[in-house]
Amino acid sequence: MLAALGNPARAPFSRLYATAEALKALNADSAVRGLIAEAGLKPIVVESGEIARELPPGAAHQGLALAAAPLEPLALDEIAEPAEGLLVMLDQVTDPQNVGAVFRSAAAFGARAVILQDRHAPAFSGALAKAAAGALEQVPAVRVVNLARALETLNDAGWRTVGLAGQAEAELAEALGEPAPTVLVLGSEGEGLRRLVGEHCDVLARIPMPGGFESLNVSAAAAIALYQASQSLQARARAAREDD
């Protein structure tokens, strides 16, 4: 909730529900009181059950609920150029907790956006928002109709596209190679990347697992891939500073 209050894209805010206990905790923090005042909100004290009835199934309120404007997705063109940094693309990953966890990792490692297929992505509420832990307010979502065409657009704009696939010959570190603006493409846990999406990636790569386990949860794979790609980009940035 606090992340949403600090996000101008969420304005205007219409209502803030709070239990008496939660309101007491809010009032104890001057920074939080400032955010509430700036938003022009006067908390409405209610019972916990009343808050639950206002929320979608699966939402955890912890005594607080904020009615705010929905987050609008970005258009692909808004993040395609300039080609710099990291992007994540999810190919029909539909589990809300996994998608939320991917957003959290994307925020942690500085990804510019998460790209999802419009018809095969969960709503940004409930379990997804809880798993994201505020990352939805930091990392924009991009919804597209066709992932393969989106990859073509990104390739044309100068992005390197790396699809993660357990059967790939190349290891992730090898596929990342020289630092470059990178799109990490991950598929669903059951099916993995669809054929056409994989064919539109510059390279397919696997995360080496010397322990012998066959696969990782998609959100865990995303976290590892984002870390490795971000380290590569940071190394290039350090080298550029040293050259200067």
- Do 55 and 169 share a domain, yes or no? no
Per-residue pLDDT, 213: 66
Neighbours of 199 (CB within 10 A): 12
Task: Tell me what percent of the residues of the chain surpass a pLDDT of 90.
Answer: 52
- Do 92 and 198 share a domain, yes or no? yes
- Do 127 and 10 share a domain, yes or no? no
Q: Which of 67, 89, 109 is the last residue of a domain?
A: 67
Task: Write out pLDDT tens, residues 151-161.
Answer: 999 999 999 99
Give the chain's residues under pLDDT 50.
Answer: none
Strand partners, 205: 164, 170
Cα–chain-centroid distance for residue 167? 25
pTM reported for the whole predicted model = 0.82
Per-residue pLDDT, 166: 87
- Do 82 and 41 share a domain, yes or no? no
Q: Which of 43, 67, 91 is the last residue of a domain?
A: 67
Range of the domain at 137: 76-243
Q: Where in 92-181 does DSSP place strands (E)? A: 113-117, 141-144, 160-164, 170-171
**153 and 80 in contact (C-beta within 8 Å)?**
yes
Torsion sign across C-alpha atoms 220, 114, 203, 225: negative
Per-residue pLDDT, 41: 87
Helix (H) or strand (E) run with residue 188 in it: none
Torsion sign across C-alpha atoms 160, 161, 164, 168: negative
- Do 137 and 230 share a domain, yes or no? yes
**Residue 80 amino acid letter:** A
Per-residue pLDDT, 60: 67
Per-residue pLDDT, 57: 65
Give the position of tokens 């500073």: 241
Per-residue pLDDT, 54: 79
- Do 63 and 88 share a domain, yes or no? no
Token reading at 207: 């995360």
**Strand pairing class (15-18; 64-67):** antiparallel
How far apart (Å, rounded) are the C-alpha atoms in residues 161 and 43?
46
From the number of C-beta atoms within 10 Å of its C-beta (0-12, 13-18, 19+), residue 156 rates as: exposed
Per-residue pLDDT, 236: 66
Total tally of structural domains belonging to the chain:
2
Per-residue pLDDT, 158: 97
Token reading at 8: 């101008």
Per-residue pLDDT, 242: 62
Residue 171: which CATH number?
Answer: 3.40.1280.10
